Structure 1
Amino acid sequence: MTIWRMPADEPPETTFHVTTDEQLRAVSNLTRHRIMAALRFEPATITQIAEQVGLAKGSSSYHVRLLERVGLVKVVRTRKVRGVTERYYAMAVQSIALPDPGAGQPDVLMRHAVADLEAAPVDVERHVRMAHLRLTESQFAELGARLQALADEYQGLSDPSLPDVSLVFALFRPAAREQTREDTK
């Protein structure tokens, strides 16, 4: 199960378990992923979301309404501005638990993380590394727990006034690959 986490002191609800096709479609869309990321730390209006994500207001409104319909975002306050009610949206949940992808299916979070990495500025510092390890079952479990604890520790230090930083990690056992003739040369 893949978990997408928000800062612990933000939304009141805990974990949202994605169980329906509509919910999966809602979180599988890269634009909606970016909208949820924009709402991680503070509520925003449709106009503010559109500016942050780089969308037209109409598109932003469509995606936010869909996220609201499945229960991932909610209106947290309203105010009247020149006779129009302005709504501020925020995440309605602290974390999202996704079902494990089926055989041959892409992992939604990793696909979004790669898209975000590819869209990130290349002229700023970043740390990207892939390591191939050989671990016992207990070493594998220990490393997973340590990575999660480190992510949780830094999430606790997170300051909404600072620029966003994304941390993505995946610890997994790759599928056994068949040896080809090219591998033996």
Structure 2
Amino acid sequence: MRADDLPESLRVTTDEQLRAVSNLTRHRIMAVLRFEPSTITQIAERVGLAKGSSSYHVRLLERAGIVEVVRTRKVRGVTERYYAMAARSIELPDPGEGGPDFLMRHAVADLEAAPADGERHVGMAHLRLTDAQFAELSARLEALVGEYRRLSDPALPDASFVFALFHPKQGDPTERDAK
């Protein structure tokens, strides 16, 4: 792949891009393309889709500039296209107050679809942090993910890592006391 000239990130800025990445099937296709270029047939097999459905979703991602054709080859008179992500990572816009955070919804859907007997580590912690500690933890998590992303080998099984570091909504104390 063209790893040296691949942009570090692609910022989702248009409605077309947002619609493209907010679909669970396309999210799973992007996961396939994260590490190595793949054909429609390979994508369909990995995601468990019909080739026609896989082609449809890949075309939407391509039109939105999220994935791109990185090479082609002739196979029995047919041009086979290999698709890859257009950047190492995708930066999503802030969902805004009350807006759906589809990245977390996709992560939960992927977790629920994972084999029940497979290895998994899921946890949640409630912390009380200063602004400086919050920023430090965020930076350390990003650095850790970056370190392991560089170590990723396409020949190894997929593993997903999801985290959300946020300040939960603080309710009106008088409302809590009234309940």
In structure 2, relative to structure 1, the CA distance for the partners of 1:91 and 1:171 (3 Å cut) is same
Which amino acid counterpart does residue 43 of structure 1 have in structure 2?
Answer: P
Cα distance in 1 between the residues matched to 2:178 and 2:156: 51
Q: Secondary structure at the match of 1:26?
A: helix
Aligned to 1:5: none
Cα distance in 2 between the residues matched to 1:153 and 1:89: 25
Cα distance in 1 between the residues matched to 2:177 and 2:78: 66
Match of 1:94 among 83, 88, 111: 88
Aligned to 2:124: 130
Match of 1:149 among 120, 143, 149: 143
Cα distance in 1 between the residues matched to 2:177 and 2:110: 33
Superposed displacement of residue 14, structure 1:
2.8
Aligned to 2:31: 37
Which amino acid counterpart does residue 19 of structure 2 have in structure 1?
Answer: R
Q: Deviations for 1:56-114, whole angstroms, at most 9, x for unmatched residues? A: 11111011011111111111111112211111111111221111002111212111111
Superposed displacement of residue 177, structure 1:
2.5
Ranges of 4+ aligned residues in structure 1 off by more than 2 Å: 177-185
Return the TM-score normalized by structure 1: 0.89
Q: Secondary structure at the match of 2:90?
A: strand
**Aligned-pair identity (%):** 75
In structure 2, relative to structure 1, the CA distance for the partners of 1:38 and 1:10 (3 Å cut) is farther
Cα distance in 1 between the residues matched to 2:14 and 2:101: 16
Aligned to 1:3: none
Cα distance in 2 between the residues matched to 1:50 and 1:108: 22
Superposed displacement of residue 52, structure 1:
0.6
Match of 1:18 among 4, 12, 37: 12
Listed as ranges, the gaps of 5+ residues in structure 2 are none
Superposed displacement of residue 30, structure 1:
0.6
Match of 1:58 among 40, 52, 59: 52
Count of residues in correspondence between the two structures: 178
Cα distance in 2 between the residues matched to 1:39 and 1:180: 50
Match of 1:175 among 157, 165, 169: 169
Contact 2:22 2:102 in 1 (8 A): yes
Cα distance in 2 between the residues matched to 1:69 and 1:112: 21
Cα distance in 1 between the residues matched to 2:175 and 2:88: 49
Return the TM-score normalized by structure 2: 0.91
Q: Deviations for 1:38-62, whole angstroms, at most 9, x for unmatched residues? A: 0111111111111111111111101
Q: Does 1:104 align with 2:98?
A: yes
Q: Secondary structure at the match of 2:100?
A: coil
Contact 2:34 2:88 in 1 (8 A): no
Higher relative contact order (CA 8 A, sep 6+): 1
Q: Does 1:74 align with 2:44?
A: no
Q: Does 1:113 align with 2:107?
A: yes
Cα distance in 2 between the residues matched to 1:114 and 1:180: 33
Contact 1:10 1:94 in 2 (8 A): no
Cα distance in 2 between the residues matched to 1:21 and 1:71: 12
Higher helix share: 2
CA-atom RMSD in angstroms: 2.0
